[in-house]
Structure 1
């Protein structure tokens, strides 16, 4: 029997680019699909653009996030899950695309690997119209990798059995960032989970990398860590895998790597909150907590002295 694939796409103010995404769905060589677009309260012409596709092809279905529901892509994806009819589910962002044979090949591989809960395929990254293939590395433990911020794949790479993703209860709502690793960690923690990663396959999706607003990203990453860390630690404890908590230390490293530069030295409260959070959840030791706080204090002092010395020299000249 032919399997139905549900493609779930959250959208928000995407009138200028969502056509490319929907056109990539229309071009699929595999025709047994439904495409569920869930709008997150767009204020531009996105709804009209999507409705044109729904009118032309009834495999496209449009939903809107209820105003009382939490805003964000995770909520929209969960609405999509609840309204999907497919045997399999693929999540696609509204600025990304499927290669023409994506669905055909994924369904074919699921037929060959039907005992698996999900399959994972490589993607390509598009930056300024240049495409780079993002190969997936072989790993002895993809769970440890995702816990260590070694994120081998993103939202569009897996194809899921609907029952499995439904049993997982979909995405955690309220996360501005880190939705994908949180979901994947939870999936990989399921007892006896079965999955296959096609490390040698060609890419079948294209991720469009947009320009990053670092100020906005900083706040989103900070807010997400406040939710992500206790959630993941709780899941590890429930699965009697507390010994894996130490790998989450890399998420704190990423915070300091990406956001601790001179113009952001006013992040005293956020830095302390995160250090305390990682200590409270037994990811870092008491010694490491004090070491980090002392280093950050020393860094702020040096920056203060350097700035005042510079001002002194300017005033002398």
Structure 2
């Protein structure tokens, strides 16, 4: 253990007293022993203090904090505070309802050391009502393309980082967004890391749980906040692709996604619709699959009202007549 560098496992939590014990048990079970586990409570109203306190009392490697007011409410603020409090050479963010398989840290550390990389990405399983399903992965295309086209699910538990890489590039979680924070975070990572400094494997080393109390399991009805977060992500992917990768497939995909958000926003009178519109008309052109592609946007939106039809037609006439 003395020869192993310290790994900081950072876990934000909110009202997960009924779940976090199993997560912390999976941390204790790691074959890699030199870790600290920093749990940051985001303002729980259940008995999280009591549950986590029992682990802290039994094992000094557990450290428990409450998110201070200097960080915004939400998982991202808790993650950033945990990072600030970490002492390890390596960083593993994790969630308070997921499980580490016992070799997770050991296998990722072995790979990151062997490949001399700043980042190691593994994969795992999704637990859907007790059924374990492999998380999708496609190693045949570039990591950025995997990420942009959602060919590989890059989730919080997938990555083990060298802390010095994160600090050198000032990479933290965006505390102002509530949805898609993992994707925005990893986009920042991929825009700042050299391809040669990433090692990716098909090793399945964690279980990502889907249930009603997780953000992933909640009903995703329209909200201005969610639309803004998604548009921001797609715009950043689009700009990063335009600057570095220049992949037409990624470009088309992102424009379709943003156009769908635009059409949804005008249907629901979202005040951000004008901003979305302005970005789209700056980046769409006659040669981009022409009007045929734009009609795909309308089909995927699924609305039949006269209002959205007129708005859509007006959009096409203004930009493609």
Q: State the TM-score bracket (shorter-chain normalisation).
A: 0.7 to 0.9
CA contact (8 A) 2:260 2:297 kept: no
CA contact (8 A) 1:175 1:224 kept: yes
Instruction: Indicate the residue corresponding to 1:44 in structure 2.
Output: 46
Q: In the alignment, does 2:148 pair up with 1:147?
A: yes
List alignment gaps of at least 5 residues for structure 1. Answer: 305-317
Q: CA deviation at 1:8?
A: 0.7
Instruction: Indicate the residue corresponding to 2:172 in structure 1.
Output: 170
Question: Cα deviation per residue 1:143-190 (whole Å; 9 max; x = unaligned)?
Answer: 123223444321101111111122332222212122222222222222
Instruction: Indicate the residue corresponding to 1:315 in structure 2.
Output: none
List aligned pairs for 1:199-278, cutoff 5 A: 199=202, 201=203, 203-211=204-212, 212-215=217-220, 218-232=223-237, 240-241=243-244, 243=246, 247=250, 250=253, 253=256, 267-269=268-270, 272-273=273-274, 275-276=276-277, 278=279
Q: In the alignment, does 2:138 pair up with 1:137?
A: yes
CA distance in 2, matches of 1:272, 1:230: 14
Instruction: Indicate the residue corresponding to 1:18 in structure 2.
Output: 20
CA distance in 1, matches of 2:249, 2:137: 24
Q: CA deviation at 1:50?
A: 1.2
Q: CA deviation at 1:247?
A: 2.3
Instruction: Indicate the residue corresponding to 1:187 in structure 2.
Output: 189
Instruction: From 6, 9, 30, give the equivalent of 2:8.
Output: 6
List aligned pairs for 1:28-43, cutoff 5 A: 28-43=30-45
Instruction: Indicate the residue corresponding to 2:199 in structure 1.
Output: 196
Aligned length: 296
TM score, norm. by length of structure 1: 0.79
CA contact (8 A) 1:8 1:80 kept: yes
Instruction: Indicate the residue corresponding to 1:310 in structure 2.
Output: none
Q: In the alignment, does 2:128 pair up with 1:127?
A: yes
TM score, norm. by length of structure 2: 0.78
CA distance in 2, matches of 1:86, 1:50: 21
Cα distance change, pair 145–273 in 1 and its aligned pair in 2 (3 A): farther
CA distance in 2, matches of 1:20, 1:67: 28
Q: CA deviation at 1:279?
A: 0.7
Q: CA deviation at 1:241?
A: 2.8
Q: CA deviation at 1:7?
A: 0.6
RMSD, aligned α-carbons: 3.6
List alignment gaps of at least 5 residues for structure 2. Answer: 310-321
